[in-house]
Structure formats: C-alpha cells, structure tokens
Amino acid sequence: MKYIFKNIKSFARDYTKIFVLMIVTIMASTLIIHLSYGMFREYKERKELSRSATNEIVFRLKSSYISGAEANADAGGSLTVVGDLNNQKYEKYDDVQDLTAADIKKFAKEVDPEVAGKLLNIHTGILEGEYRFDTDFLIDHGKIVNSGDYGPDSLYNYQIGTTTGNIFQYGRYFSDREYAEGDKVCIMYGSQKKPEGDYLKKNMTESGTVMIGGDEYEIIGLQNGIGTGFLPITAVGEDTVLLDEMDMRFKDNISLREINLLIRAAEKCFGDRAECNYDLQETENNTYLYNTVLLLVLVVSMVAAFNFCALYHYIVTTRQRTLKIFRICGLSHSKSILLYLGECSVLSAGTYLVTLLLFRYLLMPFLAGRWNVFDFHFPVGVYGTLFLIFFVSSFVLQFVMIRRTLKKKMIR
C-alpha cells in the first residue's frame, strides 16, 4: 500500500499539470453523475404528476367550532354583509381536539429552513372569546415572525376591473418588534379613519382601546375586510384555538420534495388534525430543457470517462524506466497490474468522495436556492449505488487499459 501512495506523490510532483487535469476530470465526472441522476429523478416525478407545481398549500383544520354563517346556512341561510359579525362568531359543536397557537410554534421548529425562506405568507384564523380574528405570519429559522411582505401594501389586495383595491383603510401594519415581543396591538374594522362595526361598539373602551379575549389591545390600523380584525399570533395565548384552515403562499412554485417536507412536518406536529390540499398547475415549458440536459450530461460523462483513461494511459506509458526497475527487482506482471490499479482506485475513489461532500453541502444548497429544478437530495443508499457504478465501471475500464498496456511492454 505504501508504494501506491509513493507513486501518487511522485506522480503529483513530476507530472503536476497532468495530475491536476486528472483530478478535475474525476471531479467533473462525479458532479455530472449526481446532477444527471437528480434531474432525471426530478423530471420523472414531475412527469408522473403531469409536470405540475404549486405556489399555495392549504391545511384544512379539524375543529370543534363552527361559524354562525355555517350554522345559519345549515338552517336555511341568511344574508351576510361586509363587516357583519355573523360569519365571525363561532360556537362549539363537537369534542374534536383543536389545533392551538402552541402547535404552530412546534410546527415552525420542524419546517425546513430552505422551504420557510420561500414563504410569502401564512394565513389562518384564531378564536378569541367567541369571535374569529385573522392573523398573518412567516417562519424564520424555527421562529414565528412578522409577515412583512404581506403588510399594508398587500393586506389584502383585490381586483375590480383594471383597478386594484385594498382593504387596509387607515393607520399602519404590525412592526417586526411588535410581532417579536407579542405586543397587544390590532387592526380592527372601520372605514377610512373611523372605527366601525358591532364588535367595536360592544368592546371599545373610553381610552380608544378594544377588549379582545379578556385582554386590552391598542388599535393601530383599520380595515374593511372582516367584521373583527387582525392580531399578531404571537400576542395570543398558547392555548388559543386555530380555525378553519392554514393557507401557506409561496413566492414561486415549490418542488415536490418541498411539499413533502411540509406535509411531514405537519403530520409530526398536527397528527390527523390537519389535511393538506394543493391544486397542481400545469407547467409545460421544461420537457425539452430536461431532455436536452440529460442528453448533454450523458455525452459529457462518456467523454470524461475516456479522458480519465487516456490521461492515466499516458502516465503508465511514461513510467517505462520505473516499471523495468520494479521487474528487475522481482515484480511480476500480475502485481504490477495490481499496483497501478491500486493507484488508480485510490485517486478516483478519494477524489470522488471529496467532490461528493462539496456537491452535497456547498453546490446543492447554492443551486437549490436559485432554481428549484436542482432541489433534490438522495438517501444514503442512492449515494452508495452511484459510487459503486462509478467505481466499478472505472475499475473495469482501467483494468483493461492497464493490462493491455503492460502486456505490450512485457512483450517488448
């Protein structure tokens, strides 16, 4: 074994340029193998799902509460007007275990950081007293934070013909500090600068604050979308019940792997109390790209393999003097083959494993953050299989080349 490492050291010293070129060739082959396999697997999954993607996931929450609007609809229906409290008032009708704000905090810790970074907004309802309030937030490194990208400029936009309207009427949205510290602040129902609605009539104090769930909240803004208002989820108690659904919107379409990561995190924290729904959208513009890339990586892989053999063949042919000395000292033909094969194997396997670590922990996070087509990770078994394919094919090819080369030298 020591002669193998001595030969490698001598090779690097005497033929530095060729040595560097060989290392680069092996690294390129390793990257191409993993990228081509990953893209093929991603393409296969997308093809099986009609090349579909989504930028919105909705978790339907099982609840022991039902809204007044639903109750009236079951009883024959009633007219609901904007600002009315009927569809914001909830009553208990079952003994189902509800999801709470504490479950959301657990969920935030389980969500993959890369997936959380692609979120635009998370929206859900929370029960305070007997009324539903809405809340928006994001997840950042396991913590619940303010949904800044969903602030006053987009809370909530609606389209009327060619005109874009907004339910935000007056004041300001929650600040990052208020959200982080759980301050008792709220955005209530009103028109322009005037607080309105039945809830404020019943619960507004003389000092201009409002009582919500037994706590006093400062009104920092007005909206005309719902009859109650918006609260930071960080301001409510951990046993506060979540209502109806949790709507997760993303800045762009997310990959199938990311969808599965979210579902697994939800199953771990919510159990069977939430059901995931998402509408797949057709994305037809990538088939030609994937097929072209797969063909290119196949051709480049073959070229890289032949380059590796050609480079090592050159090294073997330039070591005639060293080989003659070894044979004079008693090195047999079979042992000389094993010596060169060992050198080749150590170089290829060592470079492969180093490149694999760079691929997994540096290149993939970089590419996945920019293009979700490269967002794939393999089980340990897959990494092992790809390594065996590379190593065995290289070993066989090198064995044939070294055996034929040394046989010719022996005849001479």
CB 19 within 8 A of CB 350: no
368-385 confidence digits (pLDDT tens): 666 655 556 667 777 787
Tokens representing 34 are 């993993």
Q: Which amino acid is at 84?
A: D
CB 315 within 8 A of CB 18: yes
Any bridge partners for residue 188, and if so which?
Answer: 222, 229
Q: How many helices (H) and strands (E) does the chain have?
A: 13, 17
Tokens representing 365 are 């996070």
CB 252 within 8 A of CB 76: no
Judge residue 76's burial from the number of C-beta atoms within 10 Å of its C-beta, 0-12 exposed, 13-18 middle, 19 or more buried: exposed
78-132 confidence digits (pLDDT tens): 444 455 676 788 988 888 899 999 999 999 999 999 899 999 999 999 999 999 9
6: which residues sit within 8 A by CB, 6+ positions away? Answer: none
Cα dihedral 28, 370, 177, 111 sign: negative
The DSSP call for residue 100 is B
Q: Which amino acid is at 271?
A: G
182-225 confidence digits (pLDDT tens): 999 999 998 888 888 889 988 999 999 999 999 999 999 998 88
DSSP string for 225-257: SSSSEE--GGGS-TTPBEEEEEEEEEEEEE-HH
Q: Which amino acid is at 140?
A: D
pLDDT at 54: 75
Confidence band, pLDDT 50/70/90 cuts, at residue 75: very low
The DSSP call for residue 99 is P
Tokens representing 214 are 């037994």
Whether pLDDT at 139 is above 50: yes
Tokens representing 108 are 């935030």
Does this model's pTM top 0.75? My answer is no
pLDDT at 78: 43
143-153 confidence digits (pLDDT tens): 999 987 666 55
